[in-house]
Structure 1
Amino acid sequence: MARKLLMLSGLASVVLAVVTYAAPVSLAGASVSPAQETTTAQSASAPHGTSVVPMPADLKGKAKVLAPPPGGWSVPSQRNYTITASCQSHAAAIRQGAAAWQGLREGGGTPIECRNGYITDCGGGSNVVGCNWGAGQRIALYMGGVNDDALLVAHEFGHNWYGHSTVRCAAWDSPTTVMSPTICN
């Protein structure tokens, strides 16, 4: 049953991506198509940067889903994370972003660090606001660099399992839209 729901969700995501988000971009890291997104793992060695850009005029004012489904989206394996001292003031947003993925638990695992500006050591891209090294070895976030901190967190945690999608702007609609390489403010 869960597999059928995930397959239907993926199909709906493909339709949504094609209809709503024309002209996909890929700024950093590996890209996967929406149809491959739930089965394609990211490269374990390459960092995956997420950039922020202004909201394109054709997407302003469009209705958006503001949260993942209750319990989060299915993932291939359970992972853990630790909120470091630099992120304590952002703990609520980090926990909200983590809740997007089933099996992602606080305590041990990936250290999450917060920075006060764009991330420059992530392997390219401009205005990089998030980076996940080694599929969950460590994550850096520029909280406040985007208009939805929890979405940025969900995206970076998603790199524990998945590469970038080809969706134009990240949103909460599905795992595919969360894994866009760009967050549009």
Structure 2
Amino acid sequence: MTKRFFRTSAVVAVASAIAMFAAPSTYAAYPANEEGRAVVQLAQVGHDDDSHATEAHPTEAIGKRKAAPAPTRLAGWDTPTARSYYLTSSCRNWASTIRQGAAAWNRLTEGGGTPVECRNGYITDCGGGTRVVGCNWGRGQRIALYMGGVTDGALLAAHEFGHDWYGHSTYRCAGWSSPAHVMAPSICN
């Protein structure tokens, strides 16, 4: 009886771990564009619907796992529209990391547009959980980042810039493999 209990518990624990960290197959097949590059279709945040104009998109940091480092050359994924941003003085120490994250998206340029501010602690005015490390209000009205709360600040920046066009994907933890992976709702440290 005891052996069966432990064996069943071990199987359940392994299955739970696999399910928790496995990426969903929802984004497995991507159609290619005329250049042969994969085209990922994420749910766009309602550009035709003003109900999302002031909605905040909180991103929470979870876990203690070290994130994979950012690729040396980011993909520059296509976006539906061109956007721009500028860094406030609070982001002076993180400027190169934030620019690296912005490079994940084509047609996102620095100079005007969305103000990006950096905070010294978790973001409390965005909604969501207690460990909110990033927030994009109203599809790029403003962005706040807590770079000290994550191991990969470029990924956090890429995620928050991505909210200019996209909502969260069904991945559990953000990563660099695709736009859908970047748009996971959590940064798993």
- What TM-score do you get using the length of structure 2 for normalisation? 0.73
One-letter amino acid of the structure 2 residue matched with residue 119 of structure 1: I
Counterpart position of 2:145: 141
Higher RCO structure (Cα 8 Å, ≥6 apart): 1
Could you tell me how far 1:41 is from its partner in structure 2? Answer: 2.2
Which residue number in structure 2 is paired with residue 3 of structure 1?
A: none
Residue of structure 2 equivalent to 1:100: 104
- Tell me the distance in 2 between the aligned counterparts of 1:106 and 1:136: 13
**Unmatched tracts of structure 1, length 5 or more:** 1-16, 23-32
* Letter matched to residue 46 of structure 1: E
CA distance in 1, matches of 2:21, 2:154: 25
The superposition leaves residues 125-177 of structure 1 with CA deviations (integer Å, 9 ceiling, x where unpaired) of 22000000000000000011000000000000000000001101000010001
> Residue 76 of structure 2 aligns to which amino acid in structure 1?
G
Give the RMSD, CA atoms, in angstroms: 2.6
Opposite residue 101 of structure 2, the aligned amino acid is: G
1:76-108 deviations in Å (ceiling 9; x for gaps): 001000000000110000100000000000000
Counterpart residue identity of residue 144, structure 2: A
Q: Tell me how far 1:20 sits from its aligned partner.
A: 2.2
The reply to whether residue 121 of structure 1 matches residue 130 of structure 2 is no
Question: In structure 1, what is the equivalent of residue 79 of structure 2?
Answer: 75
Match of 2:59 among 50, 62, 68: 50
Aligned counterpart for 2:180 among listed residues 166, 176, 181: 176
Q: TM-score, normalised by structure 1?
A: 0.75
Structure 2: gaps of 5 or more residues = 1-18, 29-39, 47-51
Following TM superposition, by how much is the alpha carbon of 1:124 offset from its aligned partner in structure 2, in angstroms?
2.3
Tell whether 2:114 aligns with 1:110. yes
Instruction: For 1:179, give the aligned amino acid.
Output: M
Quote the residue 2:22 is aligned against.
Answer: 20
Letter aligned with residue 52 of structure 1: A
* Segments of 4+ moved more than 6 angstroms: none
Change (3 A) 1:53 1:167: same
Contact kept in structure 2, 1:96 and 1:150, CA below 8 Å: yes
Higher-Rg structure is 2
The residue type equivalent to 1:53 in the other structure is I
| Contact 1:68–1:172 (Cα < 8 Å) also in 2 | no
2: distance between equivalents of 1:181 and 1:71? 20
Number of residues paired by the alignment?
154
State the SS of the aligned residue for 2:154: helix
Partner of 1:144, secondary structure, is helix
